């Protein structure tokens, strides 16, 4: 309701009271990633089919108009949209960039500010909105054609994530509360799309002051595996070297 009201207030001329020049439509979109079924997924929402809706019935990234009464800044708007669509707060949110043109929205000149977020699979399905669902990524794309310029925004988010995973601890934010080192390594490999050397990965993770062991073991067909958790309120770790493909 607030989004539509904001759109209506600007009107077809895009003018705001007290200003003598048109104002662009201003939105925030969020690219939300998780790992499900051993693959990287992104959350998409299906747009309404109303008479005045652009791209009716198409899938798009979660987002919407900035609500100047509720959103103190762009990040607050991104957090609000994420909470509305997933029911949870992401452990990691990063501003991705801005896209704007006279052609991206058929209603008017539009600018969007994009963020990307990471969610553990253990909470990713807790309270999804009725119009939201997860889609697996094929490279930098998903199967449905996305509304607006969201294909371009999604590709940029995938590239940003994969580039940063080469030298940071971001996949730790995709993990459940408790996990093993092989499970953490597998998350890295899923995002990067290639295997990593086990011994070097283990050494890097244990020396990074990122995770801590807990007094529990994961039982399986082989010997029990030590369980770890992410250290509380820990910022991403930046490594001095990137992960090199195995010889």
Kindly report, residue by residue over 22-49, the tens digit of the pLDDT: 778 899 999 999 999 999 999 999 998 8
Please tell me the predicted confidence (pLDDT) of residue 124. Answer: 82
Please tell me the predicted confidence (pLDDT) of residue 11. Answer: 45
Q: Calculate mean pLDDT across residues 14-21.
A: 63
Does residue 5 carry a pLDDT above 50? no
Q: What does the alpha-carbon distance between residue 3 and residue 70 come to, in Å, rounded to a whole number?
A: 11
Kindly report, residue by residue over 234-244, the tens digit of the pLDDT: 789 999 888 87
Please tell me the predicted confidence (pLDDT) of residue 50. Answer: 77
Q: Which residue has the higher pLDDT, 124 or 246?
A: 124
Q: What does the alpha-carbon distance between residue 165 and residue 144 come to, in Å, rounded to a whole number?
A: 26
Give the alpha-carbon dihedral of 104, 106, 107, 113, to 10 degrees.
-10
Q: What does the alpha-carbon distance between residue 195 and residue 113 come to, in Å, rounded to a whole number?
A: 33
Please tell me the predicted confidence (pLDDT) of residue 209. Answer: 86
3-state secondary structure 7-39: HHHHCCCCECCCCCCECCEEEEEEEEEEEECCE
- Cβ burial 116-140 (10 Å sphere, 16+ → b, else e): bbbbbbebbeeebeeebebbebeee
Q: What does the alpha-carbon distance between residue 58 and residue 216 come to, in Å, rounded to a whole number?
A: 46
Contacts of 87 (CB under 8 A, 6+ apart): 126, 127, 128, 129
| Three-state SS at 173 | helix
Kindly report, residue by residue over 124-169, the tens digit of the pLDDT: 888 788 899 999 999 899 999 999 999 999 999 999 999 999 999 9
Does residue 119 carry a pLDDT above 90? yes
| Contact present, 164 and 156 (Cβ < 8 Å) | no
Q: What does the alpha-carbon distance between residue 71 and residue 125 come to, in Å, rounded to a whole number?
A: 25
pLDDT band at 79 (very low <50, low <70, confident <90, very high): very high
Please tell me the predicted confidence (pLDDT) of residue 247. Answer: 53
Contacts of 150 (CB under 8 A, 6+ apart): 29, 60, 61
* Strand positions, DSSP E, 119-239: 132-136, 211-218, 225-230
Q: What does the alpha-carbon distance between residue 94 and residue 131 come to, in Å, rounded to a whole number?
A: 24
Q: What does the alpha-carbon distance between residue 216 and residue 229 come to, in Å, rounded to a whole number?
A: 11
Q: What does the alpha-carbon distance between residue 56 and residue 33 come to, in Å, rounded to a whole number?
A: 24
Place of tokens 């020049």: 21
Does residue 103 carry a pLDDT above 60? yes
Please provide the average confidence, as pLDDT, over all residues in the chain: 88
Kindly report, residue by residue over 61-75, the tens digit of the pLDDT: 999 999 999 999 999
- Indicate the pTM of the whole model: 0.87
Q: Calculate mean pLDDT across residues 12-22.
A: 61
């Amino acid at each position: 309701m607030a989004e539509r009201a904001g759109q209506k207030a600007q009107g077809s001329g895009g003018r705001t009271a007290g200003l003598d020049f048109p104002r662009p439509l201003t939105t925030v979109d969020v690219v939300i990633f998780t790992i499900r079924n051993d693959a990287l997924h992104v959350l998409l929402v299906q747009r309404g089919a109303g008479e005045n809706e652009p791209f009716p019935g198409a899938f798009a990234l979660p987002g919407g108009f900035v609500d100047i009464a509720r959103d103190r800044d762009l990040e607050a708007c991104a957090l609000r949209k994420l909470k509305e669509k997933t029911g949870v707060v992401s452990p990691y949110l990063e501003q991705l960039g801005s896209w704007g043109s006279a052609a991206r929205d058929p209603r008017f000149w539009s600018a969007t500010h994009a963020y990307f977020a990471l969610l553990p699979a253990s909470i990713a399905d807790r309270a999804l909105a009725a119009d939201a669902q997860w889609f697996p990524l094929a490279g930098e794309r998903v199967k449905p054609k996305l509304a607006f310029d969201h294909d371009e925004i999604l590709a940029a988010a995938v590239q940003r994530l994969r580039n940063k995973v080469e030298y940071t601890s971001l996949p730790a934010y995709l993990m459940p509360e408790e996990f093993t080192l092989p499970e953490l390594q597998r998350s890295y490999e899923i995002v990067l799309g290639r295997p990593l050397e086990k011994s070097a990965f283990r050494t890097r993770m244990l020396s990074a002051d990122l995770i801590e062991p807990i007094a529990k073991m994961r039982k399986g067909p082989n010997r029990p595996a030590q369980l770890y958790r992410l250290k509380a309120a820990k910022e991403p770790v930046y490594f001095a070297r990137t992960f090199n493909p195995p010889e």
